[in-house]
Structure 1
Amino acid sequence: MNLLTFLPFIVLIGAMILMTRSAKKKQQAAAQMRDQMTPGTGVRTIGGMYATVKEIGDDTVTLEVAPGVHAIFAKNAIGAVLEDAEYNRIVHGTTDDLTIDTPVVPDDASSLTEKDADETPKLDLGKKDEPKDDEPKDGKADGEPGAK
Structure 2
Amino acid sequence: MDIAFLFPFILLIGVMFLMTRSAKNRQRQAMEMRDAMEPGTGVRTIGGMYAQVKEVREDTVLLELTPGVHALFAKNAIGAVLDADEYERIITGAEEVDDEEAPVVPDDASSLTETSDDTAEDRVELGKEGATAEAAAEEPKKDDGERGSRSDS
Shift of 1:65: 1.0
Between structures 1 and 2, the one with greater helix share: 2
Alpha-carbon displacement from aligned partner over 1:52-74 (angstroms, at most 9, x marks no partner): 00111101001111121111111
Alpha-carbon displacement from aligned partner over 1:58-109 (angstroms, at most 9, x marks no partner): 01001111121111111011111001110010011246xx66659xxxxxxx
TM-score when normalising by structure 1: 0.63
RMSD: 1.8
Aligned residues: 100
Alignment of 1:24-39 (within 5 A): 24-39=24-39
**SS in structure 1 of the partner of residue 53 of structure 2:** strand
Ranges of 4+ aligned residues in structure 1 off by more than 4 Å: 98-102
TM-score when normalising by structure 2: 0.61
**SS in structure 1 of the partner of residue 73 of structure 2:** strand
Structure 2 gaps, min length 5: 101-153
> 1:99 and 1:4, CA in 2 relative to 1: closer, same or farther beyond 3 A?
closer
**SS in structure 2 of the partner of residue 48 of structure 1:** coil
Q: State the percentage of identical aligned residues.
A: 63
Structure 1 gaps, min length 5: 103-148
Query: What is the match of residue 145 of structure 1?
Result: none
CA distance in 2 between counterparts of 1:75 and 1:25 reads: 18
CA distance in 1 between counterparts of 2:23 and 2:16 reads: 11
> 1:100 and 1:9, CA in 2 relative to 1: closer, same or farther beyond 3 A?
closer
CA distance in 2 between counterparts of 1:12 and 1:46 reads: 32
